[in-house]
Chain A
Amino acid sequence: MRPQTVQMIGSLLVALAIVAAVIVAVTAQLGPTSAAELEARQERERQRIEAQEERRERRQERLEELRENR
């Protein structure tokens, strides 16, 4: 292979490395703002609230049972 061709391929590989580095840096800067990530976070939040409500209801039922037994 001619030295010129090797140099050109090397220059293009450097360009590819720059592209990869920019994608990584910008994605890291943007953070978890993807739609899938946000939906997953909202889903986890919803499940947490539901679980809290269930626990509260069960506690309430137990309290009522105790009161009735007295």
Chain B
Amino acid sequence: MRARRSAGTTRAFGDHEDRACRPVAAGTNASVESFVESLTRGNPTEVKVVLASVATALAVYQLVLICVAYAKLRPRFLAGEAAGRAHRASGDAIVVLLVVVAVMCLGYFGIEDDGALHAATGAALLVVLAVKVVVLRWWHAAGRMLPVLGGLVFGLLALTWASSAGAFLAG
């Protein structure tokens, strides 16, 4: 069981423990905390777990779509161009989800020593994601790097999810 803080309310999360991201005791921006608290109706951890899990599941689907786009898979019902467009559209959704999760994580939960792996993989994920967006939108000469960057994004996302939301769901 875990006690809630700041607003003076006591709140339990069952027996689960989000090991990587725990609420910070002091020094964080109270307005961000209360905003996240009210936006999630007092369930920031649960909302973060759901959003991160949705992003990870979509990332797996992204792998399938990009395999079709690069003609590594050739299903009859889906052309490469359509798969590529769908990959971009759901990729944009994933970026939004990840930014929201990152803001919640940093603004509400903060960083603790025992969440070092989660913090490192999360920070690396955002950096690699930013590089990928730059390559896609402006730095077309580096287009050859896209498969590597995509693989890195997926790997880092899977690690970040497993070190926080996955551990939380596993209890």
CB within 8 Å of B: which residues of A? 3-5, 7-8, 10-12, 14-15, 18-19, 21-23, 26-27, 29-31, 33-36, 38
B89 proximity list for chain A (CB < 8 A): 8, 12, 15
Does any Cβ of A come within 8 Å of B144's Cβ?
Answer: no
Contact of B50 among A14, A21, A26, A31 (CB under 8 A): A26
* B46, chain A: closest CB distance, angstroms: 5
**Complex alpha-carbon distance, A31 and B171, angstroms:** 12
CB within 8 Å of A: which residues of B? 9, 11-14, 16, 41-43, 46, 49-50, 53-54, 57-58, 61, 65, 77-79, 81-83, 85-86, 89-90, 93, 169
Contact of B14 among A7, A26, A27, A31 (CB under 8 A): A31
A35→B169 contact, CB < 8 A: no
A33→B41 contact, CB < 8 A: no
Closest chain A residue, CB of each to CB of B78: A7
Contact of A15 among B12, B43, B86 (CB under 8 A): B86
B57→A22 contact, CB < 8 A: yes
